[in-house]
């Protein structure tokens, strides 16, 4: 639309230390919340990781040396990738307290603002990394719930035929209740996950005590020798080991909700020790009973405790799924406000927490995709082939983007920034290569989803740029028009007219129509533009900029962050303190609804222009998105050729 369109604008980057510590709550409550939301995904990885390391496709023989080597690889992967890379380094790269792929992208783009070509390349790289998250949002619920419900097979083999139907029922219920919001459920997430991690630790420690030889896995040389002995088969083994790392991106993505310190405390104080003990416990179990490889996680428990373990694992899987689904909502809203997706209906499910939102279109699209994934793959082992490649490629893009934040934004020496980036890139490359060998076993699934989302997001962004160019090219310059305007013979309506435009230098089409057909102007005429900066939040003192243009005309620019709720009427009240009164009951909003007309030319390929026109036509109402009053809006159609 040529009206109030999200437009990215740059602002200052955050300091490397990241003073943000989350909402003003006690650290204990924040840490418990971080356990429940941040660590659900990585916390359910023990359900299937060890089993997949010794799956026939990896070629890893089930003997004591390989068991110790594999567990050592898992442990040191957690130490190097999660602890060193994310907990120690990347959590410091906060964008005014917010984390996640798009927040990091905005931070890196600002760091190279003086180099437009590089900035554009980093934006596209960051968007591509963000699109891979949607693949993760589909696979995580599917594999987590399937992996948990498969515990029924261990309890009673006769229930094997019911695993998929029960999993689908659990997932269907999960997505159906999304519109209620996560506020009530969120209060119990932390305690349930805390019980889950304690269960992981205790069940693993019992078997370690019976087979202490597995503690040799703490020696990194065993991991090195295990990988070296695999020769070119090492990639298949790494592709399974990487399953232990899925969910690492959530540490950074959810930083804005809890702050850096609570996430670090939760990881080092509970999550890492519990995961390490459980993986070693599964290794100890396999050393004593190789037959337990059919499901080493649930075989950790005695028969009487398998049913409670299945129930607890299912709850943990639901929580892990909830976290990634909520993350998809948040990332979609960020993408909309940064100009990479069309407007969608956003419902706020909490009057107190602005981050708790629900997007119906995203919810039902994810549900359909998850159901298709469960029906197509049918088991957690089959889904393991699809899992990992999207996550590891996201990790690699994060590493690249972090280099520019560390080097350009923080000003660290090139040698230090380059050496640390190269170290993590080597690890990332090994992980990506390990997952790439699973491409034809399901790895194509998240990549196809990510590629489709990248096409959609890049097409929308480019289409908006072409639309703005067309509006500017075909429009009338505002200031020359005002300079030549003779208002002596024009009647003035005693109301305020707000003309929403994307380009504040051009005359709104709605105003021209008003003059042409009604021969009238309003007493006050506001040329309004809404811009979204590449920071999470914009302070109230920076929200509204007001410029008097003469003849009763004003130019107003409202600025929001990509985590802000764009309430335009509320923001316009701030203009009163700057000399412009906009009474809510005496104001009319004039909007232009575009009809995009694809034409041959250098803009985009015809199929992309048609895709953009379709998305523009089906974008949700700007009235609802910007919270405009229904009874004060006048919409006029206009055709724009791109």
Highest mean pLDDT pick, 73-82, 112-121, 401-410, 591-600: 73-82
Closest CA to 87 of 257, 196, 200, 249: 249
Closest CA to 141 of 397, 442, 439, 363: 363
Q: Residue 438 has what pLDDT?
A: 82
Statement: residue 16 has pLDDT above 80: no
Q: Are strands 491-500 and 357-358 parallel, antiparallel or unpaired?
A: unpaired
Statement: residue 14 has pLDDT above 60: no
Statement: residue 123 has pLDDT above 70: yes
What is d(CA 350, CA 329) in angstroms, rounded to the nearest whole number? 14
| 427: phi then psi, degrees, rounded to nearest 5 | -65, -45
* Predicted TM-score (pTM) of this structure: 0.79
Mean pLDDT of 386-400: 87
In sequence order, what E strands does 419-519 have? 491-500
Q: Residue 17 has what pLDDT?
A: 37
| 295: phi then psi, degrees, rounded to nearest 5 | -165, 80
- H helices of 338-413, where? 360-377, 380-384, 389-404
The reply to whether CATH 1.10.8 applies to domain 468-641 is no
DSSP-assigned beta bridge partners for residue 559: 531
Statement: residue 270 has pLDDT above 80: yes
Statement: residue 189 has pLDDT above 80: no
Q: Alpha carbon of 641 to those of 154, 247, 604: distances in Å?
A: 62, 44, 12
What is d(CA 272, CA 589) in angstroms, rounded to the nearest whole number? 54
Statement: residue 22 has pLDDT above 80: no
Q: Residue 353 has what pLDDT?
A: 53
CB atoms within 10 A of CB 448: 11
* Cβ–Cβ under 8 Å, residues 566 and 540: no
Architecture of the domain delimited by 31-442: Up-down Bundle (1.20)
* Cβ–Cβ under 8 Å, residues 324 and 250: yes
Question: Could you tell me which residues come within 8 angstroms of residue 106 by beta carbon, excluding any fewer than 6 positions away?
Answer: 8, 95, 126, 338, 534, 535, 562
> Tens of pLDDT along 410-447?
888 889 889 999 999 999 999 999 888 888 888 888 88
* Cβ–Cβ under 8 Å, residues 254 and 97: no
* Cβ–Cβ under 8 Å, residues 102 and 453: no
Lowest mean pLDDT: which of 82-91, 216-225, 375-384? 375-384
Mean pLDDT for the chain overall: 85
Question: Could you tell me which residues come within 8 angstroms of residue 394 by beta carbon, excluding any fewer than 6 positions away?
Answer: 101, 129, 132, 133, 136, 249
Q: Residue 152 has what pLDDT?
A: 86
Closest CA to 397 of 436, 424, 435, 433: 424
Q: Terminus-to-terminus CA distance in the chain, angstroms?
A: 13
Q: What percent of the chain has pLDDT over 70?
A: 92
| 31-442 and 468-641 in the same fold | no
Mean pLDDT of 26-45: 83
Q: Are strands 553-560 and 520-533 parallel, antiparallel or unpaired?
A: parallel
Residue 5 pLDDT level (bands cut at 50, 70, 90): very low
Q: Residue 15 has what pLDDT?
A: 36
Statement: residue 350 has pLDDT above 70: no
Q: Residue 509 has what pLDDT?
A: 80
Q: What percent of the chain has pLDDT over 90?
A: 38
> Tens of pLDDT along 547-579?
998 888 999 999 998 778 899 999 999 999 888
Q: Where are the domains of the chain?
A: 31-442, 468-641
Residue 187 pLDDT level (bands cut at 50, 70, 90): low
Mean pLDDT of 610-617: 91
Mean pLDDT of 128-154: 87
> Tens of pLDDT along 501-547?
888 888 888 888 778 777 788 889 999 999 988 777 888 889 999 99
Statement: residue 161 has pLDDT above 60: yes
Q: Residue 9 has what pLDDT?
A: 42
Highest mean pLDDT pick, 127-131, 180-184, 325-329: 127-131
What is d(CA 36, CA 146) in angstroms, rounded to the nearest whole number? 20
Rg (CA), the chain: 27
Q: Residue 2 has what pLDDT?
A: 42
């Amino acid at each position: 639309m040529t009206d109030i369109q999200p437009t990215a604008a740059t602002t200052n980057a955050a300091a490397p230390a990241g003073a943000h510590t989350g909402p003003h709550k006690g650290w204990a409550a924040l840490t418990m919340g971080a356990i429940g939301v941040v660590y659900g995904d990585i916390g359910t990885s023990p359900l299937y990781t060890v089993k997949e390391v010794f799956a026939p496709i990896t070629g890893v023989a089930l003997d004591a040396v390989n068991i110790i080597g594999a567990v050592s690889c898992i442990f040191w992967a957690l130490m190097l990738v999660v602890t060193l890379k994310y907990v120690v380094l990347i959590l410091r790269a906060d964008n005014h307290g917010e984390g996640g792929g798009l927040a990091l992208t905005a931070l890196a783009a600002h760091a190279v603002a003086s180099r437009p070509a590089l900035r554009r390349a980093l934006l596209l790289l960051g968007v591509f990394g963000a699109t891979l998250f949607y693949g993760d949002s589909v696979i995580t619920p599917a594999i987590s719930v399937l992996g948990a419900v498969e515990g029924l097979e261990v309890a009673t083999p006769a229930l094997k035929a019911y695993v998929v139907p029960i999993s689908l029922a659990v997932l269907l219920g999960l997505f159906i209740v999304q519109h209620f919001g996560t506020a009530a459920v969120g209060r119990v997430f932390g305690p349930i996950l805390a019980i889950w991690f304690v269960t992981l630790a205790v069940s693993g420690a019992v078997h370690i005590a019976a087979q202490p030889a597995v503690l040799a896995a703490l020696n990194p040389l065993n991991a090195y020798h295990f990988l070296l002995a695999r020769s070119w088969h090492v990639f298949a083994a790494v592709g399974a080991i990487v399953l232990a790392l899925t969910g690492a991106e959530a540490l950074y993505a959810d930083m804005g909700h809890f702050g850096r310190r609570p996430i670090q405390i939760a990881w080092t104080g509970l999550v890492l020790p519990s995961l390490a003990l459980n993986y070693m416990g599964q290794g100890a179990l396999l050393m004593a009973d190789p037959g337990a490889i059919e499901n080493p996680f649930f075989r950790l428990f005695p028969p009487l405790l398998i049913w409670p373990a299945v129930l607890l694992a299912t709850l943990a899987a639901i929580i892990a799924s909830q976290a990634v689904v909520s993350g998809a909502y948040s990332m979609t809203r960020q993408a909309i406000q940064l100009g990479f997706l069309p407007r969608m209906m956003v419902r706020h499910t909490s009057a107190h927490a602005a981050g708790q939102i629900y997007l119906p279109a995203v919810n039902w699209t994810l549900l359909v995709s998850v159901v298709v994934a469960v029906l197509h793959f049918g088991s957690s082992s089959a889904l393991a082939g699809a899992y990992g490649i999207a996550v590891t490629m996201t990790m690699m893009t994060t590493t690249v983007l972090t280099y520019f934040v560390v080097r350009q934004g923080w000003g660290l020496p090139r040698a230090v920034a380059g050496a640390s980036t190269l170290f993590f890139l080597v690890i990332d490359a090994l992980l990506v290569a390990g997952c790439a060998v699973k491409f034809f076993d399901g790895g194509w699934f998240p990549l196809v989803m990510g590629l489709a989302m990248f096409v959609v997001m890049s097409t929308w962004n480019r289409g908006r740029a072409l639309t703005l160019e067309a509006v500017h090219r075909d429009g009338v310059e505002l200031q020359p028009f005002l300079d030549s305007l003779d208002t002596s013979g024009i009647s003035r309506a005693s109301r305020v007219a707000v003309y929403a435009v994307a380009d504040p230098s051009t005359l709104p089409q709605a105003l021209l129509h008003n003059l042409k057909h009604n021969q009238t102007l309003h007493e006050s005429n506001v040329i309004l533009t809404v811009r979204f900066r590449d920071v999470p939040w914009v302070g109230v003192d920076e929200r509204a900029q007001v410029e008097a243009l003469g003849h009763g005309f004003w130019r107003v620019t409202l600025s929001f962050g990509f985590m802000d709720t764009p309430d335009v009427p509320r923001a316009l009240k701030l203009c009163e303190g700057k000399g412009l009164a906009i009474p809510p009951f005496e104001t009319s909003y004039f909007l232009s609804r575009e009809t995009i007309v694809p034409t041959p030319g250098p803009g985009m390929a015809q199929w992309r222009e048609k895709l953009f026109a379709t998305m523009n036509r089906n974008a949700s109402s700007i009235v609802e998105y910007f919270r405009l009053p229904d009874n004060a809006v006048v919409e006029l159609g206009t055709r724009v050729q791109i």
